[in-house]
């Protein structure tokens, strides 16, 4: 059997005129990288001739599955514990997709290789498609799920609550700083090559185990586009590596991108998979097990390490430290506990954990119960309003954490918190790597070298600052997380939709005002601040006060 060569057809695409002939385009995003040596070939031979029929076919399948889910009443059979977390996830995920689409044009100008522009253009189209089918999925949930509140407002929610802002920081990472740092290293090399497997392979499997077969359909459709993106990243990385002057910047960017992705993706996806599932079969892989297989064994050892001999400085220490965070320091558990502590500031419902969950956690993460068990029992006890306040105000041996100014996840592994005065403001960071990212990496010079294209991290990065001193009822109203009756909250720390069991703005009005840890930090005297930091790092695990306090 002989067939027509795809490679030859792809060759013809190179003959199109990609480079502008009659004008010099304006560059908004520059790069400090240089590309002088041999150009790389586009490693993936994708031609539009086969692209559009393929995507059309994939879209048809997604529509078919949507139709089947409606007719099969899937939305009423799905585990609510799982679907509630999708209110958060699906509010965030279309935005990284759009950011990724926006990132591709940054590469057209900065990577001088017409051969690669075809792949980048197709990736841009991919990302728009992903965003569209994900938003459509959200619309179907909203129309058919028993509790649409939270699905109906998620574009707004995305950027206004204590979790979504973390997602926005991640999404903007694709277009933050130097064009190569953002669109190539952060997006394609680290986010798409390392972390998409947990996102797009593990999440769908978990969704299916919880009775949702529509999300897997949509996300398999997305994941099957990932090959182009992995290839785009690889080709650009190899081109950058060929120029020795880039090695210093590559080392910097790989450190930043690796750490930031670990902080955000492991926090979010780890929580969804471990705390959003009802599937407690012992043979189900834990997030830690998946991480070890996909990210450590496959990405780190079989993708990154072979590049070392080409001059890529690999952040071995950070990869080991990420694993240390996940396995020894309970990173995912700390995050899930924080999300549940702050339930009143969100737009979904968080199901309490049961004995069956406890048993699974103890089996997969020995020692889990001693650290987190008592707190989750308290969460369960305090879940229905009964004269008490939400758990964050009650005495359950949990100290509300400070935010990390860089990754915007709080400083949950207390011993790792560091503090620095940067740009005239005292900031806390969840780990010294996040301090380094803000104070060293995103600066106009790096190790004595001019890096004008990095820009710097700005904005109200600590969500609590926005509402410092506000009454909680006003905070929740302002965010719009109130149900149609004008008083019942969208968020609930349980899954019971009986109005008598649900929290309202009236409950919140009796609570103390919201205090921003960062505002308080900057109001402290130097001595007070030193004492605060010394105490903070002695706290934990599970948010406990220092043993001697």
- C-alpha radius of gyration, the chain, whole number: 24
CA 409 to centroid of chain Cα atoms: 10
Number of residues that bind another protein (CB under 8 A): 40
Residue ranges in 299-318 that form contacts with another protein under rule CB under 8 A: 302, 306, 309
- Minimum gap (Å) between residue 43 Cβ and another protein: 5
Q: Does 283 bind another protein (CB under 8 A)?
A: no
Distance of alpha carbon 239 from the chain centroid: 28
Give the shortest CB-31-to-another protein separation in angstroms. 22
Q: Please select the residue that binds another protein; options are 201, 384, 524, 545, rule is CB under 8 A.
A: 201
Only one of the segments 85-93, 166-174, 214-222, 531-539 lies at the binding site for another protein (rule: CB under 8 A); that segment is 214-222
Site string (238-277) toward another protein, x via CB under 8 A: x---------------------------------------
Asked if residue 412 lies in contact with residue 338, where contact means CB atoms within 8 angstroms, the answer is yes
> What is the residue whose two structure tokens read 């009443």?
73
Q: Report yes or no: 493 and 452 within 8 Å, Cβ to Cβ.
A: no
CB atoms < 10 A from the CB of 474, how many? 15
Q: Rule CB under 8 A: which of 22-41 touch another protein?
A: 38, 40-41
Q: How far is the CB of 40 from another protein (least distance, A)?
A: 7
Least distance (Å) between residue 91 CB and another protein:
24
Q: Report residue 91 CA to chain centroid gap.
A: 12
Nearer to another protein, 71 or 309 (CB): 309
- When the beta carbons of 15 and 527 are compared against another protein, the nearer one is 15
User: Quick one: tokens of 190?
Assistant: 């680290």
Of 30, 43, 112, 211, the one binding another protein (CB under 8 A) is 43
Strand partners, 418: 429
Structure tokens at 208: 């299916």
Which of 69, 98, 171, 230 is the binder for another protein (CB under 8 A)? 230
227 binds another protein (CB under 8 A): yes
Task: Please identify, using beta-carbon distances, which residue of 299 and 348 lies nearer to another protein.
Answer: 299
Residue 37 or 356: the one with the smaller Cβ distance to another protein is 37
**44 forms part of the interface with another protein (CB under 8 A):** yes
Give the integer Cα–Cα distance in Å for 188 and 371.
Answer: 37
Give the three-class secondary structure for 504.
strand
7 binds another protein (CB under 8 A): yes
Q: Is 113 in the site for another protein (CB under 8 A)?
A: no
Preceding peptide of 374 cis, ω within 30°: no
How far is residue 252's CA from residue 85's CA, in Å, rounded to a whole number? 34
Contacts of 520 (CB under 8 A, 6+ apart): none
- Which distant-in-sequence residues (6+ apart) come within 8 Å of 426 by Cβ? 419, 420, 518, 521, 522, 524, 529
Cα angle, residue 505 at apex, residues 500 and 507 outer, rounded to 5°: 65
Which of 120, 221, 271, 451: binder of another protein (CB under 8 A)?
Answer: 221
CB 164 within 8 A of CB 157: yes
453 counts as binding another protein under rule CB under 8 A: no
Let me know if 382 is exposed, middle or buried by CB neighbors in 10 A (0-12, 13-18, 19+). buried
φ/ψ (deg, to 5) at 347: -135, 35
Residues 181-200 that bind another protein (CB under 8 A): 193, 196-197, 200
Contacts of 310 (CB under 8 A, 6+ apart): 238, 241
Tell me if 231 contacts another protein by CB under 8 A. yes
- Which residue stretch of 52-60, 168-176, 320-328, 343-351 sits at the interface with another protein (rule: CB under 8 A)? 52-60
Please state the separation of Cα 232 from the chain's center in Å.
Answer: 21
Write down the least CB distance from residue 295 to another protein, Å. 12
Q: In this complex, which beta carbon is closest to another protein, that of residue 46 or of residue 453?
A: 46
Interaction of residue 438 with another protein, rule CB under 8 A: no
Binding string, 145-184, against another protein, x = CB under 8 A? ----------------------------------------
Q: How far is the CB of 283 from another protein (least distance, A)?
A: 17
Q: Dihedral of the CA atoms 179, 175, 182, 413 (nearest 10)?
A: 150
Q: Which residue in this structure is represented by tokens 């410092």? A: 468
At 166, list the tokens: 């973390």
Binding test (CB under 8 A) with another protein, winner from 14, 16, 36, 57: 57
* From candidates 45, 333, 402, 435, binder to another protein by CB under 8 A: 45
Of the residues 54, 155, 519, 534, which one makes contact with another protein according to CB under 8 A: 54
Minimum distance between the CB of residue 68 and another protein, rounded to whole angstroms?
15
> Interface residues with another protein (CB under 8 A)?
1-3, 5-7, 38, 40-41, 43-46, 54, 57-58, 61, 193, 196-197, 200-201, 217, 220-221, 223-227, 230-231, 234-235, 238, 294, 298, 302, 306, 309
């Amino acid at each position: 059997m002989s067939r027509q060569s795809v490679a030859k057809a792809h060759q013809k695409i190179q003959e199109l005129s990609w480079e502008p002939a009659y004008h010099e385009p304006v560059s908004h995003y520059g790069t400090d990288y240089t590309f002088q040596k041999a150009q790389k070939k586009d490693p993936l031979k994708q031609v539009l001739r086969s692209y559009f029929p393929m995507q059309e076919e994939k879209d048809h399948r997604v529509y078919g599955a949507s139709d089947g889910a409606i007719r099969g009443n899937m939305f009423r059979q799905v585990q609510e514990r799982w679907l509630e977390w999708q209110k958060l996830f699906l509010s965030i995920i279309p935005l990284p997709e759009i950011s990724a689409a926006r990132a591709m044009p940054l590469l057209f100008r900065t990577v001088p290789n017409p051969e690669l522009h075809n792949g980048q253009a197709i990736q841009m189209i991919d990302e728009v498609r992903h965003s569209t089918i994900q938003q459509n999925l959200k619309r179907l949930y909203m129309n058919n799920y028993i509790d649409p509140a939270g699905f109906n407002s998620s574009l707004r929610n995305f950027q206004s609550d204590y979790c979504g802002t973390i997602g926005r920081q991640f999404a903007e990472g694709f277009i933050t700083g130097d064009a190569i740092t953002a669109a190539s290293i952060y997006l394609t090399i680290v986010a798409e090559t390392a972390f998409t497997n947990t996102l797009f392979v593990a999440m769908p499997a978990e969704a299916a185990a919880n009775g949702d077969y529509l999300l897997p359909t949509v996300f398999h459709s997305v994941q099957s586009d990932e090959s182009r993106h992995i290839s785009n990243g690889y080709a650009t990385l190899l081109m950058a590596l060929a120029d020795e002057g880039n090695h210093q910047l590559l080392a910097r960017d790989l450190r930043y991108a690796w750490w930031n992705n670990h902080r955000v993706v492991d926090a979010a996806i780890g929580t969804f998979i471990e705390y959003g599932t009802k599937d407690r079969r012992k043979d189900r892989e834990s997030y830690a097990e998946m991480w070890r297989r996909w990210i450590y064994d496959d990405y780190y050892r079989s993708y990154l390490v072979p590049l070392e001999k080409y001059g890529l400085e690999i952040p071995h220490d950070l990869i080991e430290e990420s694993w240390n965070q996940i396995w020894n320091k309970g990173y995912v558990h700390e995050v899930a506990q924080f999300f549940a502590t702050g339930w009143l500031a969100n737009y979904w419902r968080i199901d309490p954990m049961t004995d069956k969950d406890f048993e699974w956690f103890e089996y997969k993460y020995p020692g889990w119960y001693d650290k987190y068990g008592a707190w989750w029992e308290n969460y369960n006890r305090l879940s229905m309003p009964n004269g008490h306040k939400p758990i964050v105000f009650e005495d359950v041996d949990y100290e509300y954490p400070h935010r990390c100014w860089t990754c915007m996840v709080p400083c949950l592994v207390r011993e790792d918190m560091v503090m620095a005065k940067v740009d005239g403001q005292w900031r806390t960071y969840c780990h010294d790597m996040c301090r380094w990212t803000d104070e060293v990496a995103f600066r106009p010079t790096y190790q004595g070298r001019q890096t004008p294209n990095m820009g710097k991290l700005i904005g109200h990065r600590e969500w609590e600052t926005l509402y410092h001193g506000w009454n909680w009822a006003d905070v929740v109203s302002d965010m719009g997380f109130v149900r149609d009756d004008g008083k019942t909250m969208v968020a609930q720390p349980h899954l019971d939709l009986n109005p008598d069991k649900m929290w309202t703005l009236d409950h919140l009005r009796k609570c103390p005002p919201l205090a921003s840890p960062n505002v308080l930090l900057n109001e402290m005297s130097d001595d007070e601040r030193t004492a605060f930091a010394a105490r903070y790092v002695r706290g934990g695990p599970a948010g406990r006060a220092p043993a001697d306090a």
